């Protein structure tokens, strides 16, 4: 038993060291060397060489050009083999399923989009994954799928927007790809992408995604919190308006935050409308929309005062399609939060997300990369 425990411990240590070495190669932008990795990790040169030999044999790392001379023999640089290893990143929305082939450096190789005539189905997801898999000859390391709902391991526990309950997407995609399928909530994915590229708000922030629905992700000390049942951030169906005149939500309740401040609601669009097919900024400028936007911003700010105080996370990032609403919306949110300071709590700071619109596939790809290979694009 002692020998078995020792072997298990040695294996765990080697796996951890392999992950560290791969992360240093990935972060090295093609300039990493065996000697530099040995210095950074404190491992012996022989150990580092063994680790890199394993990563090269696995096809994840390749040798590059010779590094600049430092007086002795020129070292050989190392880089990840982005050409022959890719990730598939898929975003599932009620009226649109889209995806991208993303290389190991985070660069998008190709994209596909599949508009649905009704709420997206499993067949729609299969169609996109099949098209992505057929669009690359590289090895697929992992598939990241971003969904508006509760992701728990291989299951979508519930998605009100999609009407899915306990859907095993990994099983549903069997036979199309052999790579592991990693599921991630849409707000979590957007938060991961934004955080990996921006440290403006530091390691503690609340990411709120406003699109066809409303969701949030809580980042504490750089880690997205899952919660006891993987439901942290599910604020979309918390009632914020009450009474018989409160709007009816798709979930069946009245006055849900999602029914008040989702971008579709703010613009007066039907539930599940394809926001990629409309000019959000132009619609937001219409008089009726401006009135809804002001009222929705007030409701959102009041809800976030409670959340921010409860979590002691005063930095709020607004993502999804919210940045397309422009300066007026976030200005109303800031003004309402300032009008109601919470004693003994930090005042809230707000900014729009920087990556959701420009790099929509980054979050699911980053999640898949970290879940499968243990490495990250975050600096």
Token code pair at residue 289: 């929309």
Residue showing tokens 């959000």: 280
Query: Above 60 in pLDDT, residue 4?
Result: no
The per-residue pLDDT for 184 is 94
Beta strand extents in 139-242 (DSSP E only):
139-147, 150-152, 155-159, 164-168, 181-185, 205-210, 214-220, 223-224
Summarize the confidence of residues 282-287 as an average pLDDT: 94
Summarize the confidence of residues 66-81 as an average pLDDT: 77
DSSP, collapsed to helix, strand or coil, labels residue 212 as coil
Q: CB–CB of 314/349 below 8 Å? A: yes
Summarize the confidence of residues 293-303 as an average pLDDT: 95
Q: Whole-angstrom Cα distance, residue 216 to residue 143?
A: 23
pTM: 0.85
The per-residue pLDDT for 118 is 77
Token code pair at residue 61: 């790392």
Q: How confident is the model at residue 29 (pLDDT cuts 50, 70, 90)?
A: confident
Neighbours of 205 (CB within 10 A): 24
Over the stretch 180-233, which tens digit does the pLDDT of each residue have?
Answer: 999 999 999 998 888 877 666 677 889 999 998 899 999 888 888 888 888 888
Over the stretch 8-19, which tens digit does the pLDDT of each residue have?
Answer: 588 889 899 999
The per-residue pLDDT for 64 is 82
- Which structural domains are found in the chain, ordered by start? 2-80 (1.10.10.10), 85-190+360-373 (3.30.420.40), 199-352 (3.30.420.40)
Q: Whole-angstrom Cα distance, residue 270 to residue 241?
A: 19
The per-residue pLDDT for 220 is 86
Backbone φ/ψ region at 204: left (φ over 0), alpha (ψ -120 to 50), beta: beta
- CA-CA distances (angstroms) from residue 257 to 216, 295, 298, 317? 12, 12, 11, 17
How do strand 205-210 and strand 315-320 relate by DSSP bridges?
A: parallel
Query: Above 70 in pLDDT, residue 161?
Result: yes
Over the stretch 250-277, which tens digit does the pLDDT of each residue have?
Answer: 888 999 999 999 999 999 998 878 888 8
Give helix 45-57 / helix 34-41 axis angle, nearest 10°: 120
More confident residue, 191 or 87: 87
Q: What length is written for the chain?
A: 379
Percent of the chain with pLDDT over 90: 57
The per-residue pLDDT for 3 is 59
Query: Above 90 in pLDDT, residue 102?
Result: yes
The per-residue pLDDT for 72 is 60
The H or E element containing residue 91 is strand 85-93
Q: CB–CB of 235/307 below 8 Å? A: yes
Summarize the confidence of residues 130-137 as an average pLDDT: 95
Angle at 74 between CA 71 and CA 77, to 5 degrees: 135
């Amino acid at each position: 038993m002692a020998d078995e425990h020792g072997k298990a411990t040695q294996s765990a240590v080697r796996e951890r060291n392999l992950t560290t070495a791969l992360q240093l190669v990935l972060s090295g932008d093609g300039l990493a060397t065996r000697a530099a990795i040995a210095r950074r990790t404190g491992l012996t040169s022989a150990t580092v060489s063994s680790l890199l030999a394993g990563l090269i044999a696995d096809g994840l790392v390749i040798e590059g050009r010779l590094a600049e001379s430092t007086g002795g023999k020129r070292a050989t640089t190392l880089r990840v083999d982005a050409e022959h290893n890719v990730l598939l990143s898929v975003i599932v929305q009620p009226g649109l399923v889209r995806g991208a082939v993303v290389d190991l450096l985070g660069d998008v190789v190709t994209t596909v989009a599949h508009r649905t005539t009704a709420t997206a189905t499993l067949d729609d997801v299969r169609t996109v994954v099949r098209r992505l898999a057929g669009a690359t000859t590289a090895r697929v390391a992992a598939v990241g799928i971003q969904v508006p709902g509760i992701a728990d391991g291989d299951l979508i526990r519930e998605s009100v927007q999609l009407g899915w309950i306990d859907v095993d997407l990994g099983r549903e995609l069997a036979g199309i790809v052999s790579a592991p399928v990693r599921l991630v909530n849409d707000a979590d994915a957007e938060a991961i992408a934004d955080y990996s590229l921006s440290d403006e708000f530091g390691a503690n922030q609340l990411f709120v995604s406003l699109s066809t629905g409303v969701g949030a992700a809580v980042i504490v000390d750089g880690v997205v919190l899952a919660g006891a049942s993987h439901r942290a951030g599910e604020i979309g169906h918390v009632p914020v308006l009450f009474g018989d005149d409160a709007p009816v939500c798709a979930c069946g309740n009245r006055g849900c935050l999602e029914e008040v401040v989702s971008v579709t609601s703010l613009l007066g669009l039907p539930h599940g409308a394809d926001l990629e097919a409309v000019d959000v900024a132009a619609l937001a400028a219409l008089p009726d929309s401006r009135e809804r936007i002001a009222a929705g911003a007030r409701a959102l700010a009041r809800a976030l005062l409670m959340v921010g105080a409860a979590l002691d996370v005063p930095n709020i990032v607004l993502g999804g399609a919210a940045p397309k609403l422009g300066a007026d919306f976030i200005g109303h949110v800031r003004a309402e939060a300032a009008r109601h300071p919470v004693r003994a709590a930090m005042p809230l700071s707000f900014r729009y997300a920087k990556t959701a619109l420009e790099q929509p596939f980054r979050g699911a790809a980053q999640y898949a990369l970290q879940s499968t290979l243990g490495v990250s694009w975050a600096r």
